[in-house]
Structure 1
Amino acid sequence: MFTPLNKYPFPTAPTIINWECFEDLLDASPLSVKNTIQGNPGHLVDHLNRWRESGEEQLVRWWRIDAGVSGIESVVKIHESIRSTCLISPDARFLLRADTIFSEVPSGTPGGQGDPLYYPSFTPDLIDCPCHSAPRVVNAKRMYRHVEAETVVKSLLVNMGIPNIAYLELRVAGSAFMCEQCDDLKIRMWDEMVDHYRHESKSWSGVLIRRPEFEVKHPIKFFNPHNVLRNLRQNLLVRRMEEFPVDLDPRMFCVLCRNYRRSRVFSGEEHVLGHIESMHGVKNGIQGLHYASYSKLVRFDSWGKKWKRRWDKHHNIVGEVP
């Protein structure tokens, strides 16, 4: 669970006792400390606010340096509203956005930038869960803009129509997100979905390293459907689920993938047509040529030769595969 934002980040005792309002309390009794704080709580709150604000300003400064910009997008929404965020500082609003992401290492580091880090749920010196720990010094270590994760997240959020959403809202939604480019209907948490797209974007190497089961005269094209920068149909990339999906549509499989020994099964004609355009660049896929009903999947070796002749004949007429 997240600690309320008005309580975290919070300085540790070694930090607080160095503040001027506590200089005379280093050797005082616990009762004296308690009475001093209760006697003027506003003084402590002012110090806490300045402490947080200085850390937020530093983070934003680092982000702007990495991005090479002078301004920031300070709109952040929760439940599609700014009502709960409009009173906090522009820096804090920017840091709470789902597409404001940090790393402990700079972009271009061999091995990548590691896991995405989101404010306020990180500090550089934490060992255990950051939500239940407190840093002694805000931003004691230089933080960097996580370019790769930011690119993926920005594209997903714009595609979903929620570009200004707070990370906190996505995090607390739990397992509520389904990848529209996959055929497994797996429900993921938001962080898992971001990792899924990052992994698929990096690991894609095509399937042409495999020999097709049936050699065709006109080659089949393959594209990475998880490449967020290449979304041919502007298909929905991620669906936010209100309830667990019920698979009632007839199951279809992609014949083009099956010829390369990849079993890609989809629920419904619309889903498989989206896959065919995203992965193979084919608009208006034809049943029997680009896809077929699931019942034919296991018998592909028996009718594949007939499919191959139909594929080549089709492209002899209409021309090369686009």
Structure 2
Amino acid sequence: MRFAGGAATLLVAAMVAVSGCTGAPDREDEALDIRDRISGMPGVSEADLIYNNGIIEGTRFELEIDMARASDQQIGAVAAQLDDMRGNDFAKFDQRMKIIVGERTSVSGSADLPADMEQLTGLLRRLRADAPAGEIMWSGGAPDASRVQILEAEDPDAAVDAVLRIFSERPLNEIEVSAADRVADPHWMIVNRFTPADKERIEQQLAAAAPVDPGWIGVRDGWINRLTFSVPTPATAYDDVVRAIHAIDAGPAHPVSLTWAWHGADYRYDEPRWAGSAMIGKCEYVNGDRTVSEPLVPDALALQQRIRDEFDTCLK
């Protein structure tokens, strides 16, 4: 069943079994009561509820609350009240609570919302002002599992800097920033500890790797662990790939999954193309087979194997 809060309209979906078959208790009345009470709190523009308890639909209790124009304090009060009203009544349900705290900016949680919701709202609103983007989302479960996603950032590098600056006192476990211009700018995927010093070092490493053009920058524990880039021409590709490997200090101490491509020719989806990949400083190919490859043109395949021979750690 889905309950739309603004118009208080109940849309009933056909259910092939009674709720008791799911193992979760019937909490429909409680879910409706929570929605209605939250809807009446200061700063709430709208509250939409999805409640399901059936073997087809599953057990879902999801509430989306629009507070884009509310004060930080009002948002903090609603989050605290919502957690208090839920208690443990929905422990057997898949829960998702989402509060919209600004234009295309939101906080999502499951069993509990952040205890410092008021402060978190202020941080996200600062991030929205400092990092022009499509959508900004904070999500979290356990205290050490918080995540910020910034989608379609106008300047991904600057957006990462803004996250590090604004969340300096509230570290994140994961930062993801996608680019509005996917051709010109990279996609960042950062996991675990990451500091402004790490960011500065990586920027210097990527500058040293020029003229390769990064498309995906994966970072774990402060070091690049996945890099996708384009090369300017097949003629210099070996030198470009090797330069990139050395520039990012890839090797057994800092293993990297490396992927490269030349985009100077058009290939159909089912044709071999000019590209390549290698496990630098590690051996994690599919099924452990370092000869497995996507369809590549002959000279690209030869370059790929040469890089693998020189830089992976598989038994030769």
Tell me the TM-score normalized by structure 2: 0.28
* Structure index of larger Rg: 1
Q: Which protein has the bigger strand share?
A: 2
Q: Which has the higher contact order (CA 8 A, sep 6+)?
A: 1
The structure where helix makes up a greater share of residues is 1
Q: Calculate the TM-score normalised by the size of structure 1.
A: 0.28
